[in-house]
């Protein structure tokens, strides 16, 4: 869909300068919004990042486009040429849709502990609670209903949207964004079984979140049992992710929604994990590892690469046939091994 938000106008030349892209064509074309190739009209700039949409370059009504060098000759429209059109689109989208910044100050219904320190440039909305000895940095935004426990620290320019809960002693780095409903620092799932009953193990560690992290709505990150659960710089977490106690997520890693990561697992730097992946406890992932969606991981991964454990979708009757064959594989392998032994014996 084409955006209906009008954030003013800007020339294509100025967009090229601000985004570090190469200008090709009329730099005085005026742009006032960003849109898809299919829906764009006059005044819009569109982008091509997925090759399967290349045919739309010939029919788009955009005033300008963002393309990779390999696609520059496919359209006569004024264009920005860049090695990564999608990243350039992201930068331009941020220009036309800057994040709103609430006025600094503390709403009269907020409850701020006497020993807490809130920077004068911070914005604290209605019904926010800030615990004892907690520090809120410059230009931090705490939206309505957010609760911050005791002895926490929020770095400069952090944004916590409505109804985020941060338990005691958590550290949140600068420029980190936490979306509504996320819970940071709840007890990990630490239990000891004795005589058929469960004994709760006190969870005495912290959650430490680095700089420039984004945590999606309703994602939960458990505190460490003894040490800390650590989310390193520039990690991007989608909605409804569960991260168990004492996990470490390496810098620049991105994890899609509904993924579950069991306790004491270490995810390397620059990893990508698809939605609904399930990762067992006490494992390690090498830097640069890619885990496909819905993959179950039960062993450590020492060599970077793409790992997939999900079976592609099939028509139901075909799936039943494949499942039937799979159930018989162990017996078939035994019969093959027996035949091989018989052939070897007859050859002797």
Residues forming the active site: 245
Structure tokens at 144: 């309505």
Q: How far is CA 171 from CA 147, 163, 206, in A?
A: 14, 18, 8
What angle do the packed helices 12-19 and 85-96 form, to 10 degrees? 110
Secondary structure (DSSP) of 136-201: E-TT-EE-TT-EE-TT-EE-TT-EE-TT-EE-TT-EE-TT-EE-TT-EEEEPP--EEEETTEEEEP
Cross-strand bridge partners of residue 344: none
Residue 235, SS3?
Answer: coil
Residues 6 or more apart whose Cβ sits within 8 Å of residue 254:
235, 236, 271, 272, 273
CA 187 to chain centroid, in Å, comes to: 22
Secondary structure (DSSP) of 184-219: EEEPP--EEEETTEEEEPP----EEE-TT-EE-TT-
Tell me which DSSP letter residue 252 carries. Answer: T
H or E element that contains 134? none
Identify which of 88, 78, 82, 90 has the alpha carbon closest to the alpha carbon of residue 44: 78
Tell me which DSSP letter residue 15 carries. Answer: H
Identify which of 86, 60, 82 has the alpha carbon closest to the alpha carbon of residue 2: 60
């Amino acid at each position: 869909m084409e955006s209906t938000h009008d954030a003013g106008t800007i020339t294509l030349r100025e967009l090229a300068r601000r985004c570090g892209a190469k200008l090709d064509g009329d730099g005085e074309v005026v742009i006032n919004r960003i849109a898809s190739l299919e829906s764009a009209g006059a005044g819009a700039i569109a982008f091509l990042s997925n090759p399967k949409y290349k045919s739309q370059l010939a029919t788009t009504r955009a005033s300008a486009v963002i393309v990779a060098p390999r696609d520059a000759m496919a359209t006569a429209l004024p264009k920005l040429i860049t090695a990564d059109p999608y990243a350039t689109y992201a930068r331009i989208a941020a220009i036309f849709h800057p994040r709103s910044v609430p006025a600094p100050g503390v709403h009269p219904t907020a409850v701020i502990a006497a020993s807490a320190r809130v920077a004068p440039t911070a914005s604290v909305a209605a019904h926010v609670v800030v615990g004892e000895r907690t520090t809120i940095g410059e230009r931090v935004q705490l939206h309505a209903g957010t609760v911050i426990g005791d002895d926490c620290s929020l770095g400069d320019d952090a944004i916590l949207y409505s109804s985020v809960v941060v338990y005691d002693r958590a550290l949140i780095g600068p420029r980190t964004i936490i979306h509504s409903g996320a819970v940071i620092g709840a007890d990990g799932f630490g239990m000891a079984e004795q005589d058929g009953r469960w004994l709760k193990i006190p969870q005495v560690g912290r959650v430490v979140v680095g700089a420039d992290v984004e945590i999606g709505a309703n994602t939960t990150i458990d505190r460490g049992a003894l040490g800390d659960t650590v989310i390193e710089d520039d990690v991007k977490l989608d909605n409804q992710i569960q991260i168990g106690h004492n996990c470490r997520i390496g810098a620049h890693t991105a994890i899609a929604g509904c993924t579950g990561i069991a306790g004491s697992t270490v995810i390397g730097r620059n990893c990508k994990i698809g939605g609904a992946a399930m990762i067992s406890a006490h494992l390690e992932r090498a830097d640069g590892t890619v885990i496909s969606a819905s993959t179950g991981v039960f062993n450590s991964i020492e060599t970077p690469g793409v790992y997939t454990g999900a079976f592609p979708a099939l028509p139901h009757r075909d799936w039943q046939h494949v499942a039937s064959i799979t159930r018989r594989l162990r017996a078939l392998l035994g019969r093959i091994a027996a035949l091989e032994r018989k052939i070897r014996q007859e050859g002797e």
